Amino acid sequence: MKKSLYLSALAAVFLFLGCQEQKSVESQPTPAEAQKVAAIGEAAAGKLKQTLVAELTAAMQSGGTGAAIEVCSNKALQLTESIVDSSENVLAVKRTTFKYRNPQNAPDEWDAQALQVYEAAAQKGEALPPSYIQKIQREGETTFRYYQPLLTAGLCLNCHGDPNMLTQEVSAQLAALYPDDKATGYKEGDFRGLIRVSVALEE
């Protein structure tokens, strides 16, 4: 009897600690924090956008859209890693969307909250916020997330447009690499997803 009481007390403590560990709180960044996070996030997101579009355009010109798919799936990760390495405030860079091609780009709960803000604006035909910042406190640590919207340009339709308009080569390659692809059916100007830059500010 005593022992089971002891065990359940122990279980309660573990449960409590477990919950504590999981718990994260979002709060409003101060204006000074928001300004710093925006500068760091903008630089990283800008670098990713520029290099990705340049790499895509070059690959499509030299090897066609089929070759560009490989560039996109292999290079995107390398590019994000090199951006992380180049700044000590940048913890991670990710692209995320509800309709993802690669399941690794699926949103977590905070990403989903940011995506909802953009999807709601897009549905109402409102202008998309140029950026969105979250302040997250977890396990005694504070980090920030800076998001920037990615729109579907004409170039993107070669691989994200109407599935019936994709070339056979592209369709076949996408089917082989991404059997659960959700990232087609976009039109020019559609909201495609977010670039997310995870930022730490030094104390």
Sheet containing 90-96, strands listed edge to edge, beginning at the edge strand earlier in sequence:
24-27, 132-138, 141-151, 191-199, 90-96
Interaction between residue 87 and ligand HEC (CB under 6 A) = no
Diameter over CA atoms, the chain: 76
Give the separation between CA 132 and CA 199, rounded to whole angstroms: 13
Amino acid identity at 10: L
Interaction between residue 44 and ligand HEC (CB under 6 A) = no
* Of residues 29 and 161, the one with the C-beta less far from ligand HEC: 161
Name which of residues 131 to 150 contact ligand HEC (CB under 6 A).
150
Interaction between residue 171 and ligand HEC (CB under 6 A) = no
Amino acid identity at 152: T
Stretch in the footprint of ligand HEC (CB under 6 A) among 16-24, 115-123, 138-146, 152-160 = 152-160
152: helix, strand or coil: coil
Nearest to 194 by CA among 82, 37, 49, 53: 49
* Of residues 144 and 147, the one with the C-beta less far from ligand HEC: 147
Q: Rule CB under 6 A: which residues touch ligand HEC?
A: 53, 56, 65, 68-69, 72-73, 76, 95, 97, 100-102, 105, 150, 152-153, 155-156, 158-160, 183, 192-193
